[in-house]
Structure formats: structure tokens, C-alpha cells
Amino acid sequence: MSRSDLQPVSRALISVSDKSGLVDLGKALAALDVEILSTGGSAKMLMEAGIAVTEVADHTGFPEMMDGRVKTLHPTIHGGILALRDNPDHAKAMQDHEIGGIDLVIVNLYPFEETVAKGADFHTCIENIDIGGPAMIRSAAKNYGFVTVVVDAGDYQAVIDELTETGGKTSIELRKRLAAKAYARTGAYDAAISNWYAAQLGEDYPDRLVLAGTRQQILRYGENPHQSAAFYANDEKRIGVATATQVQGKELSYNNFNDTDAAFELVAEFDPKVSGPACAIIKHANPCGVAMAPTLVDAYKTAFACDTTSAFGGIIALNQTLDAATAEEIVKIFTEVIIAPDADDAAKEIIAAKKNLRLLLTGGLPDPGVPGRLVKSLASGYLIQDRDNALTAGPELKVVTKRAPSEQELKDLKFAFTVAKHVKSNAIVYVRNGATVGVGAGQMSRVDSSKIAASKSLEAAQNAGDSVAWAKGSVVASDAFFPFADGLLAAAEAGATAVIQPGGSMRDDEVIAAADDAGLAMVFTGMRHFRH
Ligand SMILES: NC(=O)c1ncn([C@@H]2O[C@H](COP(=O)(O)O)[C@@H](O)[C@H]2O)c1NC=O
């Protein structure tokens, strides 16, 4: 710390909405002989604790007025904060107008974000927009050369420590760090107000986009070791990787965050009350095995059997509490992350033996039907779209072939289409008895995805000691329509007996005729699920 950059703190202004830690702070400042100015509620609490305080109204000679809309918006306050102490003109202005310097500004804002989150009415939200607080924060942060600004109770101790250590002064390093934090706070506050206002006006895509987030973690690196990265959480608080509790294991990496998100969003499609236990295993944001079964351990084992090679080092998502039997199976191979709503004690104990294995518990499943926004960044901008929260799984399914699917086929078709929604396009998914048996992902042609999925199903069969590919007698889902009959024929050749796809190709007639010729049952969903 360079001593010349130390600035004395003789007077502090405290105006806080969230009063946690206020009394201890006041006592510590009083012990350091710092004079305290404060607004109504904050002043009252300090006085009740026996701390000497001057009310801002007494300092300015102006009462708080208009229901608190005007408290600190006064030249005596802003002059005291903004004056450059080493500028003779500023010093003269202070003298002429009897303005005393304010060296430390401690403010936290009206709880606008919390008020909106509670679902308050328009008027209440407006009244919770803080005006005087951000003004003081911005003034103090601008004058960081002389003034210390604190917007987070988590910084009270650092300021007190430094004042104690230096005999009542703060360093330029601390003042700069706190000034940057102060502008980040007012920026995020205004972002929240602006987004809320746009929503009130029904503007889905306002002229100016403001994104705000809170840094959760600086990551070791990005997708690759030469890329730096961090994770920021937004205010959506959707149940998932961002809000989960990490019970054990190494720190999550960038790719872990991405893959775990994909895994949990997929498994959340399967409500345990409807589907029973379900498990999804993800590699590089694509599922390499997904299954439903009467028990969780069977769901895991069946998902794993789909592609035992790819599952190595994968991310496992479960739709219900991790139990000991499932944990025993999981620890048999190397896994990066397990994410589940909960884990019982016996399961936790088994997982604990694998020190690096990350276990994330979410407390529940996100609602796949809830609307939301997705943001993707391009070279010079952002693409914003609704979350793909739709699924056609009910009466809107249209049978287009002579043969209608059997009950088991229909159940598997719906499952396959749900999984396909979470596979990078072009997506082809073979399913048999509630489990994927072959996934073709991310190919530039649908036929290639069909072929890959079919060959994966042969590999799965061979691994299990079967000579016949598991696609035989399966059903198949395609995330978008088959533009030609070839993709469908590839599926028929692989042994699929029923098909689910959106339909809508110019050549639907040809594709339907090919399905009829091959004796396949086919349903159209009328909804596409591209994913990139
Ligand atoms: N209007 C003003 O001049 C003003 N000055 C400070 N405030 C806010 O009043 C709150 C503290 O009020 P109190 O100390 O009365 O509980 C703080 O959140 C602070 O940011 C103000 N309130 C809103 O704008």
C-alpha cells in the first residue's frame, strides 16, 4: 500500500435499507472517532444502540420529505461527497456554502429486485426504485480518489480493518476496488428496473438489452485451457446447476457447467410421478444414454448400456433421490458429475469414496414447461429466444400411416421425441422399452445421424453379448422432418417399427408412402425441436 494514497476518514454517511451489521459498523466507526451522518431509519437504529449520530436532515437543514423520495438529494450532501479535496476552487465552494466533506459513504438500496420477485404491484415496485441511494453511490465512486464507498455489508469488515490499521485512513487500492463494485451494483440495479419496465410494457425485445449477472465462480479455464472463463448467475433462480448445492468433489469446470445443465434439463422432462425413475448420461452436451425404469438403479444401468464407451467421464442426471444401489453402480466407472434433486446418506457415503466426483443436489426439478429466455453470443451480438419449453406428446400427435403405433410403441415414441429435443441437430434417437438404444447427434445430414444411431445400437448389442442390433424392434424419433424418404428408410433398415417426427416436408407423401411400404407406423408432432 502506498502511504501517500491514504485518505483520512473523518465523516461517514450511512443510509441503508438492509440494516444487517449496521450497529456493529456504527460502533466500530464511533470507536475510530468518525462522525456519523445518517438517514431516518438508519439513524434511529444507530441512536437506539447508543451511537452518536447526526441526522442528514439536521446536517442539511432540510427535512426528509415526500415519503422519503427526497432525503439526501441536497448540495450539502453531494458537494460534501464530490468535492476534490486538493482543488482550491472546490475548497472555496465548500467554505462559501458551509459544506463539510463526507469521506465514507455506506449505502444499500431499496429492495427493488426482491419487491419484483415477490410479485408486488406496479405502484409498489415504482416506490421501491431508489433514487437518492444510487446518486450518492455514483458520486462517491466518482470521487474514489478521496472518498470510500461501500454498497455491500460483506465489505464492512475490510473497511474497518483498514481504518484501524492505518489510524483512520483508507488506501487507493481499497477505494478503487469498492468504486468498481459500486458502479456494478448501480448498473445491475438499473438493469433490473429496465427489464422489469420493458416487461410491464409487454416489450419482449426492448430497444436496448441489459444483461446482468452475479459472478459465482472464476473458472480454471474455458472450453479449452487457453481460454479464460467465469460463471455468472442471473436472477431467474431456475432449479439446476446454477442454484444447486455441491456436496463434494472438485470445482466444476466450464464444460461441466454446460454439460450438467444439458443433463438436468433433459432429465427434468421426466416427472417421477408420471415416468418413474429416469436417468440421463451426457457427454459434450449430448445424451449418450437415457432411460426410465421401475428402479433408479435400473434406469442408470439401462442408460449406461446404450453407449458404455461414451458414458466414461460423463455427467449423470437423475430425476429423483440418489440411493445407495444407484451410487454403487455409478462409482464403478469414472464419472465427472452427478446431479440429482437429493441423495440419501448411504448414497453420499458411497460417493464420498470418490473424492473428485462432483455431487450436486438441487432440491427439486425445474419445470420444463415454464417459459424463459436463452441467450447465445455471436461475434458481434446476442441471439435471444424463448426457451424450448414445448413438447407435443398428447392428442395433437397425428397418425399418418395405415398402421397406428401399438401402445408400447406410442409410449416409446413420446420418450424418443422428448430425448431428441435435447440432442444437437440433426438428431435421431432409437428407443426400445423406455430406453435409448442409439443416438445420432450433431450431423450435417439426417441420413448420417440415422446411420450413426443405428451403428451405435449394434455396438450396444455387441457389448451386451447380443448379435442383433438393439435398433431391431425399436422406435425412432427425428427432431425435424425427413426431407426425403432415405432417412426413414435407413431407420426401417435398422429395424425400427415406428417413427415420430414433426412432418411438414414438401415430400411428406413420399415419406409416408415409404413408411407404409415398410409396414412402419408413423406419427407427426407438428413441432420441430432443432438444437444447436
Ligand atoms: N431519496 C433520497 O434522497 C434517498 N437517500 C437515501 N435513500 C435510501 O434510503 C434508504 C435508507 O433509508 P432509512 O435510513 O430511512 O431506512 C437507503 O436504501 C438509501 O439508498 C433515499 N431514498 C430513495 O430514493
> Could you identify the atom of ligand 1 that is nearest to the CA of residue 17?
18
- Spell out the alpha helix ranges (H) of 201-317: 254-267, 272-275, 296-306
Does residue 217 form part of some domain? no
At 421, give phi and psi (nearest 5°): -60, -25
End-to-end Cα spacing for the chain:
50
The ipTM is: 0.90
How far apart are the CA of 159 and the centre of ligand 1, in A?
22
Output the pLDDT for position 340.
Answer: 98
Extended strands (E) in 335-423: 335-340, 358-361, 373-378, 381-386, 398-399
| 496: its cell numbers | 425400427
Does residue 126 form part of some domain? yes
108-138 confidence digits (pLDDT tens):
999 999 999 999 999 999 999 999 999 999 9
Task: Centre a 10 Å sphere on the Cβ of residue 10 and count the other Cβ atoms it contains.
Answer: 14
pLDDT band at 345 (very low <50, low <70, confident <90, very high): very high
Same domain, 117 and 171: yes
* Strand 278-283 versus strand 245-248 pairing type: unpaired
Does residue 295 form part of some domain? yes
How far apart are the CA of 8 and the centre of ligand 1, in A?
25
How far apart are the CA of 110 and the centre of ligand 1, in A?
7
How far apart are the CA of 443 and the centre of ligand 1, in A?
57
DSSP-assigned states of every residue in 320-336: S-B-HHHHHHHTTS-EE
Closest residue to atom 8 of ligand 1, CA basis = 133
> Could you identify the atom of ligand 1 that is nearest to the CA of residue 40?
15
Output the pLDDT for position 39.
Answer: 96
Output the pLDDT for position 1.
Answer: 41
| 112: its cell numbers | 427493488
Mean pLDDT of the chain: 95
Chain Cα centroid distance, residue 207: 24
Does residue 230 form part of some domain? no
Give me the residue label for grid cell 446411420: 451
Output the pLDDT for position 2.
Answer: 43
Chain Cα centroid distance, residue 263: 14
- Give the 3-state DSSP-derived string for 117-131, with helices as H, strands as E and coil as C: HCCCCHHHHHHCCCC
How far apart are the CA of 132 and the centre of ligand 1, in A?
6
| Nearest one of 497, 500, 491 to 454, comparing CA atoms | 491
Output the pLDDT for position 294.
Answer: 98
Q: 102: domain CATH number?
A: 3.40.50.1380
Above pLDDT 90, what percent of the chain? 95
Mean of pLDDT values over 339-347: 98
Same domain, 122 and 186: yes
Does residue 213 form part of some domain? no
Alpha-carbon distance 266 to 244, whole Å? 16
CB 303 within 8 A of CB 432: no
How far apart are the CA of 510 and the centre of ligand 1, in A?
70
The answer, yes or no, to whether residue 383 has pLDDT greater than 50, is: yes
Q: Which of 72, 73, 127, 139 to mutate to test the pocket of ligand 1 (most atoms within 8 A of CB)?
A: 72
| Helices 40-48 + 22-31 axis angle, to 10 | 70
Would you say the CB of residue 73 lies under 6 angstroms from ligand 1? yes
pLDDT band at 40 (very low <50, low <70, confident <90, very high): very high
- Which of residues 361, 384, 419 is at a domain's end? 361
Say if pTM beats, i.e. exceeds, 0.90. no
Same domain, 90 and 136: yes
Mean of pLDDT values over 41-58: 97
| Nearest one of 268, 261, 325, 332 to 298, comparing CA atoms | 325
| Nearest one of 357, 385, 12, 9 to 171, comparing CA atoms | 9
141-196 confidence digits (pLDDT tens):
999 999 999 999 999 999 999 999 999 999 999 999 999 999 999 999 999 999 99
Does residue 417 form part of some domain? yes
Alpha-carbon distance 277 to 299, whole Å? 6
Mean of pLDDT values over 504-513: 96
Same domain, 20 and 78: yes
> Could you identify the atom of ligand 1 that is nearest to the CA of residue 69?
1
Same domain, 451 and 316: no
Q: Helix and strand tally (H, E) in the chain?
A: 19, 23
Domain containing 66 equals 7-201
The answer, yes or no, to whether residue 357 has pLDDT greater than 50, is: yes
Alpha-carbon distance 507 to 504, whole Å? 8
Give me the residue label for grid cell 419484483: 116
- Which of residues 336, 361, 386 is at a domain's end? 361
Would you say the CB of residue 26 lies under 6 angstroms from ligand 1? no
Same domain, 59 and 155: yes
Same domain, 91 and 168: yes
The total number of structural domains in the chain stands at 3
Output the pLDDT for position 396.
Answer: 83
> Could you identify the atom of ligand 1 that is nearest to the CA of residue 73?
3
Sign of CA dihedral 484, 489, 490, 495: positive
Same domain, 433 and 295: no
> Could you identify the atom of ligand 1 that is nearest to the CA of residue 133?
20
Would you say the CB of residue 286 lies under 6 angstroms from ligand 1? no
* Cis peptide leading into residue 426 (ω within 30°): yes
DSSP 154: G
Does residue 229 form part of some domain? no
Same domain, 252 and 141: no
Alpha-carbon distance 343 to 352, whole Å? 12
List residues with catalytic annotation. 142, 284
Same domain, 183 and 260: no
Same domain, 309 and 428: no
Q: 407: domain CATH number?
A: 3.40.140.20
Closest residue to atom 4 of ligand 1, CA basis = 132
Would you say the CB of residue 15 lies under 6 angstroms from ligand 1? yes
Does residue 42 form part of some domain? yes
Would you say the CB of residue 110 lies under 6 angstroms from ligand 1? yes
pLDDT band at 4 (very low <50, low <70, confident <90, very high): low
The answer, yes or no, to whether residue 289 has pLDDT greater than 70, is: yes
Would you say the CB of residue 47 lies under 6 angstroms from ligand 1? no
Give whole-number Cα distances, 85 to 82, 140, 426, in Å.
9, 13, 65
Output the pLDDT for position 263.
Answer: 98
How far apart are the CA of 68 and the centre of ligand 1, in A?
7
Closest residue to atom 13 of ligand 1, CA basis = 41
- Which of residues 201, 217, 252 is at a domain's end? 201
Closest residue to atom 20 of ligand 1, CA basis = 133
At 13, give phi and psi (nearest 5°): -115, 125
DSSP 424: P
Same domain, 52 and 172: yes
DSSP 381: E
